[in-house]
């Protein structure tokens, strides 16, 4: 612990050294963050104040929106603020906290997406038993399991990070604290540690992605037995879920399922799962969802909705 405390803060090198690019990124990411907060809060409030809250798919969507807000808020406000300053620093304690919260909320998001895939599987492949399978007690247990899974995923990585000795240099070539950039500046041989991180973090993402891919493959195969209208409605929902899964898991697998090192491109890929995917989730889930759009009009424009009705 003494060697760890030889460094009280880390210097984040950020996305770019060019001041004009940093100002441009500040404007873009500020707009993205505001859109992300507004979109996810809109979904959260609209579902909570409508009968959709009692449907399992939208119950999980509320939790996904909440986690998206928490997940991106562990990184994005710091990134936006750092784009306006020349020297970007983060204290040792805040860095370790960022490692934990990133993987905690990221892990919850992975398991919430898995629960949503299970819900779609039950709805399309077991329609007669759907109400029994996806009762509210089971939905609550799935959400609780997602939070527990996030904690189980985050604590070993946090323990790994907090156990690393840091004695210089203290420059992290990233815009937030993550396990691989920290391994790069640790003053010890981190090869075995890196392999363990890949085995634990990368494999969790890969296995989950494979499970989700197989489940959606089964769902799409089952759709051939539905009517044209039923197939259209189910496809609309499933493609939304599949798009979210690809946007989130693609970059995560690229970064965490390879040799324990860092590349400049990692910062670009990290933007996808820290900002871009959470920002697009509200749009993806509402653009082609007539029930969601109807609920939003009913909650936010009741007079207009009553005239349409």
- State both tokens at 299: 């909650």
HSE (side-chain half, CA atoms, 13 Å) at 7: 26
Look at residue 3 in the predicted model and tell me its pLDDT. Answer: 43
pTM, entire model: 0.88
What would the mean pLDDT of 204-217 be, rounded to a whole number? 88
Alpha-carbon gap, residue 247 to 281, rounded angstroms = 9
Look at residue 63 in the predicted model and tell me its pLDDT. Answer: 94
Q: Is the pLDDT of residue 31 over 90?
A: yes
Residues, the chain: 309
Tens of pLDDT, residues 240-278: 788 888 888 888 888 888 766 667 778 888 888 888 888
Look at residue 1 in the predicted model and tell me its pLDDT. Answer: 40
Distance of CA 15 to the CA centre of its chain: 20
What would the mean pLDDT of 169-186 be, rounded to a whole number? 87
CB neighbourhood size of 75 (10 A): 22
Are the beta carbons of 55 and 82 closer than 8 angstroms?
no
First to last CA, the chain: 66
Look at residue 241 in the predicted model and tell me its pLDDT. Answer: 80
Tens of pLDDT, residues 81-139: 999 888 899 999 999 999 999 999 999 999 999 998 899 889 888 888 899 999 999 99
Q: What percent of the chain has pLDDT over 70?
A: 93
Look at residue 144 in the predicted model and tell me its pLDDT. Answer: 96
């Amino acid at each position: 612990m003494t060697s760890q405390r030889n460094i009280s803060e880390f210097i984040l090198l950020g996305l770019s050294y060019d001041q004009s690019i940093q100002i441009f990124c500040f404007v873009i990411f500020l707009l993205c963050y505001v859109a992300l907060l507004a979109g996810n809060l809109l979904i959260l409030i609209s579902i909570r104040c409508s009968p959709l809250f009692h449907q399992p798919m939208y119950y999980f969507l509320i939790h996904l929106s909440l986690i998206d807000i928490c997940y991106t808020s562990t990184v994005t406000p710091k990134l936006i603020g750092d784009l306006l300053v020349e020297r970007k620093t983060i204290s040792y304690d805040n860095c370790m906290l960022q490692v934990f919260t990133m993987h905690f909320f990221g892990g919850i998001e992975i398991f919430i997406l898995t629960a949503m895939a299970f819900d779609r599987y039950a709805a399309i492949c077991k329609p007669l038993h759907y109400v029994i399978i996806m009762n509210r007690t089971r939905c609550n247990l799935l959400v609780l399991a997602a939070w527990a899974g996030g904690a189980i995923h985050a604590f070993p990585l946090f323990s790994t990070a907090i156990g690393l000795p840091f004695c210089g240099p203290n420059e992290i070539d990233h815009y937030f604290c993550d396990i691989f950039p920290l391994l790069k500046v640790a003053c010890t041989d981190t090869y075995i540690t890196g392999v363990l991180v890949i085995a634990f973090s990368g494999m969790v993402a890969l296995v989950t992605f494979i499970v989700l891919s197989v489940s959606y493959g089964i769902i799409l195969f089952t759709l051939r037995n539905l009517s044209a209208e039923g197939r259209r409605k189910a496809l609309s929902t499933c493609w939304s879920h599949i798009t979210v899964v690809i946007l989130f898991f693609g970059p995560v697998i690229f970064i965490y399922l390879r040799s324990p090192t860092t590349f400049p491109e990692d910062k670009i890929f990290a933007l996808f799962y820290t900002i871009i995917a959470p920002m697009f989730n509200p749009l993806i889930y509402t653009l082609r969802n007539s029930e969601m759009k109807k609920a939003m009009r009913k909650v936010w424009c009741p007079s207009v909705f009553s005239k349409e009705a």
